[in-house]
A and B are shown apart, each in its own frame.
Chain A
C-alpha cells in the first residue's frame, strides 16, 4: 500500500532541443505527495489520484519529480530529504501535497498515513511541519512554489482538542493555518486549497476541486503563475458552489511562466516541455516598482480596506497583484452587509431558482436531502457539545441509530466506542463527513429519518452523579420556562 518512487523525468523531446536553449539551462524539481490511506483517521479517496495527475502534468512541463503515495512519517521524511538535497541547485522548486492537514498555533502540519494523535507531543513526532519543507526549499536560490491541497476534513483535531482543551490555551483548528512567506531566493508562492480556518473538499470524482482546477490551468501557455492562481481560485470557488475559496500567498520577485511557448516558431508550439523562468528583461517591473507594488498591496491586505485595494489598482492597473486586488475588492463589496443582501439571490437565474423550488416536494413524508453544504460540514466534539445532550437525549439518539441499522448495542444513554462507530457508519452511509461526532444538522437528519421508528428512551432517575445534576438542570429549566416552550422534548418529558 505504501511505496515511494523516485521518478526522474528527462522528458526532452526533439522539439524542445531545437528551440529551448535558454529553458534547458533551467532545472525544475517537483516533490509530489498524496496521502489517502490513513490508518488511524478517515481515509481519503482522492489524494493519490491528485498526486498522480499532478506528477504527470509536471513531468510534461519538464519537472523532475519526486513522487510519494500514502507515505508514513519515515517515508515522508526520507523523500523530503532527497528532494531537499536535489533542490539546492535547481531553478524552480515545486511542492504539491494532497492529504490531511492541520494547524496548531499557526503552524501547519501535513499528516502521514500512520499518524496517531493522542496528545500534543504527537505533533512533533507524528506530523510533518510545512515550515520544515519550505525552509528546505528556501535554502536554494530558486523560485519556490507550494501547493497544499490539504485541510480536507480533520478528524485528528478532535482528539487533540479533547486532550489539550482544558489545560492549554492552544487552539487546534481544523485545516491549515495561514502561512507567512519567507524572504528567500527569487521568492515563494504558496497556494492553499482553501481559506484560513476553512476546510477543503476531497471531491466527488477522481480529483479534488482544487487539483482539478490546478490541472486545468497550470500549463496555460505564456501565463504568469499569479494569473494561474487567480484562475484556479475562480474555478474552485465556482465549482464548489462558493463553499471553498483557495488562498494564495505570493512573494515572487518576477513573473514565473511554467509553459512558455515561442509563438515566433509555431512549428514548435505544441511542445509543453519548454519551461522558462522569464528572464529579467524589459517587460518586467523594475526592482523599485516591484517593491512599491508589494508595499501598497501589503498595506491593503493589512488594513483590509477596499479603498486601499483600489489605490493599488489605480497605481498599478496591470501590476503583479492586480488580479488579487480586483478579487479582494469584489469580495469586500460582497461582504458589505445588508445593503447587498439581495445579491446572493439575484445572481441566480430565475430558472435555476425555479428548478430548485420545484425540487422540494412539500407533500408526503419528510426526506431531508443531503446537500453539498451538508456534505462538506465538519463535525467535532464542540459541534456536539453545543447540542447539550443529556443522558436521555443520548439514549434516544442510540435508539434512533439502531433504527437506521447502525447497531450501537445497548440503549443506555452512555456513549462508548460502539456508539461513536455507529455514528460514523451512519454518517458514511449518508455521505456525510464520517467523524463519529454529531452536529445540530446531523441530528436533525437522523431525527427526520427515524421519527416514529424507534422506542423512546428515558434515563433512569438520578443514580450516577452526572445524571443527577443533568436532571436538576432540566427541572430548573422546566420551572423557569414551564411547558411554555414549543414542541415536545424527546427526553425532557420525564419531568412532567
Chain B
C-alpha cells in the first residue's frame, strides 16, 4: 500500500507499462525535467500567441505541453498530512527549486487523484494537497511563495487513462509555467 515511488513523467509515460520505474528523483533529475530546453520540439514549435492568455492560476488546457516533473508524494489517507516519505520527496524538490537555474521561473503545483471515490471530493482533496505541498516548501525551505501556484485536477488527467484505479494516477506534478507569461 505504501508507495514511495518517484515516477518520471515523460510524455511517453501515458503509454508506458504500469508501475515500472520506482526511480528516486533527486534534485538534479527534477531540474533537468523542469528546464525549458528539455521540453522537446513540441513546445518549441508552439506559437507563442497560443500560449499567451492562459491563466496559470487554474487548470491548464490539455494541449499545453510544458516542462514538468511528476512525483509521487505520499500523504496520510484522506488527509493533507504529509508522510515522512512525502516530506523526503519534497526535500529534493525544494533543493531543485532553489537552484539558480530555476531563477525567474514559476511553477504550477498540480494535485491528481485516482478514480476511486467521489469526483467532487477528489477534486477538493487534490486542491488541498497541492496547497499543502506549497505550504511545506514555504515553511521549511522558504521557497518564495510567489514561485508556486496550486491547482487541483482531481482525476481529470490520469496518467493511465485505461485504468483510473492505477496508483500511478495519484501524483503531484510540478509544471514550469514560465513559458506562458
Interface residues of A (CB under 8 A from B): 241, 337-346, 348, 350-351, 353-354, 356-357, 360, 362, 366, 368-369, 371-374, 377, 387-388, 440-441, 443-445, 447-448, 451-452, 477-478, 480-490, 492-493
Q: How far is the CA of A278 from the CA of B146 in the complex (A)?
A: 44
Q: How far is the CA of A357 from the CA of B143 in the complex (A)?
A: 10
Any A CB within 8 A of the CB of B88? yes
Report B-chain residues with C-beta under 8 Å of the C-beta of A351.
100
Is the beta-carbon distance between B100 and A373 smaller than 8 angstroms? Answer: no
Out of B82, B103, B141, name the residue touching A346 (CB < 8 Å). B103
- List 5 interface pairs A-B (beta carbons < 8 Å), by A numbering: A341-B147, A447-B84, A484-B167, A485-B116, A487-B2
Contacts known (A440-B81, A487-B85); A492 close to B27, Cβ less than 8 A: no
Is the beta-carbon distance between B95 and A360 smaller than 8 angstroms? Answer: yes
Report B-chain residues with C-beta under 8 Å of the C-beta of A443.
81
Report A-chain residues with C-beta under 8 Å of the C-beta of B121.
480-481
Report A-chain residues with C-beta under 8 Å of the C-beta of B73.
486
Distance in angstroms from A3 CB to nearest chain B CB is 40
Is the beta-carbon distance between B79 and A441 smaller than 8 angstroms? Answer: no
Report B-chain residues with C-beta under 8 Å of the C-beta of A362.
26-27, 91-92, 95
Is the beta-carbon distance between A366 and B88 smaller than 8 angstroms? Answer: yes
Is the beta-carbon distance between B75 and A487 smaller than 8 angstroms? Answer: yes
Report A-chain residues with C-beta under 8 Å of the C-beta of B100.
350-351, 353-354, 357
Q: How far is the CA of A209 from the CA of B132 in the complex (A)?
A: 29
Is the beta-carbon distance between A486 and B3 smaller than 8 angstroms? Answer: yes
Contacts known (A339-B181, A492-B76); A441 close to B140, Cβ less than 8 A: yes
What 1/0 flags go to B76-106 for Cβ under 8 Å of A? Answer: 1111111111111001101110111011111
Contacts known (A368-B87, A369-B140, A451-B84); A338 close to B74, Cβ less than 8 A: no
Contacts known (A482-B116, A484-B114); A342 close to B105, Cβ less than 8 A: yes
Q: How far is the CA of A362 from the CA of B98 in the complex (A)?
A: 13
Is the beta-carbon distance between B95 and A373 smaller than 8 angstroms? Answer: no
Is the beta-carbon distance between A341 and B77 smaller than 8 angstroms? Answer: no
Is the beta-carbon distance between B78 and A345 smaller than 8 angstroms? Answer: no
Report A-chain residues with C-beta under 8 Å of the C-beta of B115.
484
Contacts known (A338-B56, A448-B84); A346 close to B104, Cβ less than 8 A: yes
Contacts known (A345-B144, A360-B94, A369-B140); A440 close to B83, Cβ less than 8 A: no
Which A-chain residue is minimally distant from B105 (CB atoms)? A342
Report A-chain residues with C-beta under 8 Å of the C-beta of B32.
none
Q: How far is the CA of A484 from the CA of B79 in the complex (A)?
A: 12
Contacts known (A346-B104, A373-B142, A487-B86); A481 close to B98, Cβ less than 8 A: no
Distance in angstroms from B117 CB to nearest chain A CB is 4
Report B-chain residues with C-beta under 8 Å of the C-beta of A452.
84
- Determine which residue in B81, B106, B114, B135 has the highest number of CB atoms from chain A within 10 A of its CB, and name it: B81
Is the beta-carbon distance between A357 and B87 smaller than 8 angstroms? Answer: no
Which B-chain residue is minimally distant from A490 (CB atoms)? B76
Q: How far is the CA of A448 from the CA of B82 in the complex (A)?
A: 10
Report A-chain residues with C-beta under 8 Å of the C-beta of B145.
344
Report A-chain residues with C-beta under 8 Å of the C-beta of B102.
345, 353
Which A-chain residue is minimally distant from B164 (CB atoms)? A484
Contacts known (A338-B106, A344-B147); A373 close to B79, Cβ less than 8 A: no
Contacts known (A440-B80, A483-B77, A488-B74); A345 close to B104, Cβ less than 8 A: yes
Distance in angstroms from A445 CB to nearest chain B CB is 8
Report A-chain residues with C-beta under 8 Å of the C-beta of B91.
360, 362, 366
Q: How far is the CA of A481 from the CA of B99 in the complex (A)?
A: 37
Report A-chain residues with C-beta under 8 Å of the C-beta of B123.
none
Closest 7 CB pairs of A and B: A484-B116, A489-B77, A487-B74, A344-B146, A481-B117, A357-B98, A341-B106
Is the beta-carbon distance between B103 and A480 smaller than 8 angstroms? Answer: no
